[in-house]
Amino acid sequence: MADGDGADELRERLQRVGDCGVLRFITCGSVDDGKSTLIGRLLFDSKLLFEDQIRALEHDSRKYGTGGHEIDFALLVDGLEAEREQGITIDVAYRFFNTEKRKFIVADTPGHEQYTRNMATGASTADLAIILVDARKGLLTQTRRHTYIANMLGIRHAVLAVNKMDLIDHSRSGFHQIVSDYMALAEDLSFASITAIPISARYGDNIFQRSKLLKWYNGPTLMEHLDQVEAAADDVLDKPFRFPVQWVNRPNLDVRGFSGTVTGGRLRSGGTIRVAHSGKEAVVSRIMTADGDLDRVNAGEAVTLVLDREIDITRGDMLVEPNSPSEVSDQFAAEILWMAEEKMHPGRSYLLKSGSQTTPASVTALKHKLNINTFKKEPAKSLDLNEIGICTLSTSKLMAFDRYKVQRETGAFILIDRFTNQTVAAGMIDFSLRRASNTHTHVMDVNKARRAELKGQKPAVLWFTGLSGAGKSTIANLVECKLARNGRHTYSLDGDNVRQGLNRDLGFTDADRVENIRRIGEVAKLFLDSGLIVTCSFISPFRSERQMIREQVERGEFIEIFVDAPIEVCIERDPKGLYAKAQAGKIDNFTGIDSTYEPPDSPDLHIRTSEVSAETAAETVIDELVKRGLIG
Series of mean pLDDT values for 10-residue runs along the chain (632 residues): 39 40 86 85 69 50 47 53 44 71 81 71 87 95 92 92 96 97 92 95 92 94 91 70 92 82 93 94 93 91 93 93 93 94 89 91 93 90 93 93 90 90 92 68 78 89 94 95 93 89 87 89 93 94 89 92 93 85 84 87 94 95 92 80
Question: How far, in Å, CA of 353 to CA of 341, rounded?
Answer: 20
Query: 615: Cβ–Cβ under 8 A, 6 or more apart, which residues?
Result: 478
CB-based contact 550:521 (threshold 8 Å): no
Comparing CA positions, the residue from 184, 93, 78, 175 lying closest to residue 134 is 175
| CA dihedral for 523, 525, 526, 532, sign (positive or negative) | positive
269 an active-site residue?
no
Task: For the chain, give the number of residues.
Answer: 632
Task: Count the alpha carbons within 13 Å of 415 in the hemisphere toward its beta carbon.
Answer: 28
Residue 101 confidence (pLDDT): 80
> From 3.50.50.60, 1.10.30.50, 3.40.50.300, 3.40.640.10, which CATH number describes the 448-627 domain?
3.40.50.300
β pairing state of 292-294 and 281-289: antiparallel
For residue 535, the SS3 value is: strand
Q: Which amino acid is at 394?
A: S
Rounded distance between C-alpha atoms, residue 451 and residue 489, angstroms: 11
Sequence-separated (6 or more) residues with CB below 8 Å from residue 575: 469
Within this chain, domains 7-228 and 448-627 share the same CATH topology: yes
Please, what CATH class does the domain formed by 7-228 belong to? alpha beta
| Pairing outcome for strands 128-134 and 22-29 | parallel
Determine phi and psi for 213, rounding to 5 degrees: -90, -5
CA angle, corner 116, sides to 113 and 120, nearest 5? 165
φ/ψ bin of 527: left (φ > 0), alpha (ψ from -120 to 50), beta (otherwise) = alpha
- pTM here? 0.74
CB environment 410-445: b (16+ within 10 A), e (fewer): bbbbbbbbbeeeebbbbbbbbebbeebeeeeeeeee
What topology does CATH give the domain 327-435?
Answer: Elongation Factor Tu (Ef-tu); domain 3 (2.40.30)
From the candidates 193, 540, 544, 602, give the one annotated as an active-site residue: 540
Residues 6+ apart with CB under 8 A from 226: 23, 25, 102, 104, 128, 159
Helix 510-529 to helix 448-455 angle (10° resolution) is 70
CATH topology of domain 240-320: Elongation Factor Tu (Ef-tu); domain 3 (2.40.30)
Amino acid 111: pLDDT: 57
Give me the pLDDT at residue 631, please: 85
Beta bridge partners of 382: none
Please say whether the beta carbons of 335 and 388 come within 8 A: yes
- How far, CA to CA in Å, does 219 sit from each of 128, 168, 198, 222, 503? 18, 20, 9, 9, 62
How far apart are alpha carbons 488 and 481 in whole angstroms?
Answer: 10
What residues does each domain of the chain span? 7-228, 240-320, 327-435, 448-627
Under a CB-based contact definition with an 8 Å cutoff, are residues 245 and 260 in contact? yes
CB 205, CB 169: distance < 8 Å: no
Long-range contacts, 409-413 (Cβ 8 Å, 24+): 409/236, 409/242, 409/263, 409/264, 409/355, 410/242, 410/244, 410/263, 410/264, 410/318, 410/326, 410/354, 410/355, 412/124, 412/354, 413/334, 413/352, 413/353, 413/354
The whole-angstrom separation of Cα 290 and Cα 178 is: 54
Interatomic CA distance for residues 420 and 110, integer angstroms: 24
CA distance 265 to 252: 28
What pLDDT score does 232 carry? Answer: 61
3-state helix, strand, coil in the chain (%, to 5): 30, 30, 40
How many other CB atoms are there within 10 angstroms of residue 492's CB atom? Answer: 18
Beta bridge partners of 184: none
Radius of gyration of the chain (CA): 30
**Residue 620, CB half-sphere, CA atoms under 13 Å: how many?**
18
CA dist 55 and 60 (Å) reads 9
